[in-house]
Amino acid sequence: MNPAATTRRRALALAAAGTLAAVLVAAALRAPRAPARAEFFVFGSLSSVELRGATARQAQDAFAAIGAQLRQDERDWHPWQPSALMRLNAALARGEPLRVPPNLAGLIRRAQWGYRASGGLFDPAIGALIEAWGFHTSVYPIAAPPPAQATIDALRAAYPTMDDVTVAADGTVASRNRAVQLDLNGLAEGYAAEQAAALLRARGIADALIDVGGDVLALGTADGRRWRVAVEDPRGKAPLAVAELAGHEALFTSGDYHKYREIAGQRWAHILDPRDGLPLHGDAATAAVIAGDAVVADIASTTLMIAGPARFADAARGLGVRCALLLTHDGRLYLTPSMRARIAVLAPLASTNVAAGPVERCDAAGP
Binding-site sequence positions for Mg(2+): 186, 298, 302
CB atoms closer than 10 angstroms to residue 223: 12
| CA–CA–CA angle 48, 113, 192 (5° rounding) | 15
Residues annotated within the binding site are: 186, 298, 302
Considering only CA atoms, which of 110, 264, 117, 119 is closest in space to residue 189? 110
Residue 15 CB partners (closer than 8 Å, separation 6+): none
Computed from CA positions of residues 62, 250, 122, 80, in that sequence, does the dihedral angle turn out positive or negative? negative
- Neighbouring-strand partners of residue 245: 227
117, 136, 190, 192, 364 from 43: Cα distances, Å: 25, 12, 12, 10, 25
DSSP 224-245: TBPEEEEEP-TTSSS-SEEEEE
